[in-house]
Amino acid sequence: MRSEELFERARRCMPGGVSSPVRAYGAVGGVPRFVERGEGAYIFDVDGNRYIDYVLSYGPLILGHAHPAVLKALTEVLPKGTSFGAPTELEVELAETIKAAFPFVELVRFVNSGTEATMTAVRLARARTGRELILKFEGCYHGHADPFLVRAGSGGLTFNIPSSPGVPKGTTECTISVPYNDRGAVEEVFGRCGEDIAAVVVEPVAGNMGVVLPQEGFLEGLRSTTKEHGALLIFDEVITGFRVEFGGISTRYNIEPDIITLGKVIGGGLPVGALCGREEVMGLLAPQGKVYQAGTLSGNPLAMKAGLATLEVLRKEMPYRMLRSRTEELAEGMRGAFGRKGIPCVVNYDTGMFSIFFTERERVLNLEDVRTSSAELYSKVFHALLGEGVMLAPSPYESAFLSTAHDGEVVERTVEALEGALRHI
């Protein structure tokens, strides 16, 4: 197996053989498939196997792999050069597109990753309020910056690292973590130290402990509590931005956070992140204000162009209802297949994202519920599906994603593959 050979080589020159931890298959065992190429809903490994891909680069590829419009756009700008360290029209166009989708947004700052976006959002919130504490939710992931590595989701959960070595105590002491969907806990913390809290940061639909939906009133409650205590509300829409709506969860529920962070979809598969909001907050960023943030490759023309091409297709096609009904079909198909096999499970989903929890619980609303899910069964299902040509994320805590290339036939084939896979379990 070429993947095996490459993984051997990789481990000799890269920590764990990968550039990001979950990719190493540590949570499910086995050898990671080295990828050769992608096309639409499919990904091909270096051994010539084809898989229906539900990883989709962990969220960016809402149009599927190698979408012709994105490739064409990149081919247009590529010969002009790859980076200038100077402003371009493409940045302005992408910022305008984001503003048009989020009506209250006035200014947008581009960075190179979601991590940078949330990191900067926190700096901005601290500068704006003159306070230091951050309130976050257990199981939510906001990138790998120090203040967020407290009970974080994604790789942090997969490897059971409650916080990471190398993060100074002083940093994590400023982060308070409470259960997702727990308004009482939020009220309690604000009652105790509300005047010291700079911001509440939340994934408005959680996607890094699997998909966990906000209960009715949860997000509205965060908005009113933060407002009452003079703290900022940061919606981390790095996954949900332009995935669940043309806009995000904030526009769906008409809630106005003070800062929204974006990434993934807005880069169309190239490295990008952004933070945005009203001028009274965003205007504090240098050079308009005094809060420092910079980036050699920020606003990179290739990333801007891929993002623009992606958002243009989305705006023209508005595929969200279709994407939602496909996700629902798949979720129902999976529930049915597991049900017939007598395997208790909860399938949570929002538009274009879902996850399966192997739990006896009726609902999965927070990290404690997530933790009742069997990681062992997930590994078995993961490998059995891989054998049937379907690729899920190699961790029970990562969401699965659908693209517009995942049509009815692909979804049907996935459910058939699952039924085949379950015969071996």
Ligand X SMILES: *Cc1c(COP(=O)(O)O)cnc(C)c1O
What secondary structure letter does DSSP report for 16? Answer: G
Are 270 and 303 in contact, with CB atoms under 8 Å apart? yes
Question: Closest CB to ligand X among 118 and 366?
Answer: 118
Q: ∠ at Cα 235 (292, 183), nearest 5°?
A: 125
What secondary structure letter does DSSP report for 38? Answer: E
- Looking at 135-143, 210-218, 243-251, 289-297, which segment touches ligand X (CB under 6 A)? 135-143
For the CB of residue 239, give the shortest distance to ligand X in the complex, in Å. 4
Given candidates 111, 174, 222, 239, which one binds ligand X under the rule CB under 6 A?
239
- Looking at 177-185, 192-200, 231-239, 366-374, which segment touches ligand X (CB under 6 A)? 231-239
What secondary structure letter does DSSP report for 268? Answer: T
Which of these is catalytic: 25, 42, 54, 141? Answer: 141
Residue 324: exposed, middle, or buried by beta-carbon count in 10 A (0-12, 13-18, 19+)? Answer: middle
Q: Which helix (H) or strand (E) holds 73?
A: helix 68-77
Cα(100)–Cα(369) distance, integer angstroms: 37
Spacing of C-alpha 362 from chain mean position? 25
Q: ∠ at Cα 197 (192, 199), nearest 5°?
A: 135
Which of these is catalytic: 146, 236, 258, 369? Answer: 236
Residue nearest to ligand X (CB): 114
Which amino acid, one-letter code, is at 164?
Answer: S
Binding status of residue 156 toward ligand X by CB under 6 A: no
Q: Write out the binding residues for ligand X, residues 255-284 only, by CB under 6 A.
A: 263, 273
- Looking at 1-9, 98-106, 140-148, 321-329, which segment touches ligand X (CB under 6 A)? 140-148
- Active-site residue, 227 included: no
Binding status of residue 214 toward ligand X by CB under 6 A: no
Question: Closest CB to ligand X among 70 and 270?
Answer: 270
Q: What are the angstrom distances between the C-alpha of 408 and each of 42, 152, 211?
A: 14, 35, 22
- Active-site residue, 169 included: no
For the CB of residue 117, give the shortest distance to ligand X in the complex, in Å. 7
Q: Write out the binding residues for ligand X, residues 192-211 only, by CB under 6 A.
A: 203, 207-208
In the shown chain, the binding pattern of residues 105 to 134 toward ligand X, with x for contact by CB under 6 A and - for none, equals: --------xxx--x----------------
Cα(328)–Cα(322) distance, integer angstroms: 10
For the CB of residue 346, give the shortest distance to ligand X in the complex, in Å. 21
- Looking at 137-145, 218-226, 336-344, 363-371, which segment touches ligand X (CB under 6 A)? 137-145
For the CB of residue 181, give the shortest distance to ligand X in the complex, in Å. 16
Given candidates 141, 338, 349, 382, which one binds ligand X under the rule CB under 6 A?
141
Binding status of residue 238 toward ligand X by CB under 6 A: yes
- Active-site residue, 47 included: no
Cα(200)–Cα(202) distance, integer angstroms: 7
For 52-73, b/e burial (b = at least 16 CB within 10 A) is: bbbbbebbbbbbbbebeebeeb
Q: Which residues are catalytic?
A: 141, 236, 264
Residues in touch with ligand X (CB under 6 A): 113-115, 118, 141-143, 203, 207-208, 236, 238-239, 263, 273
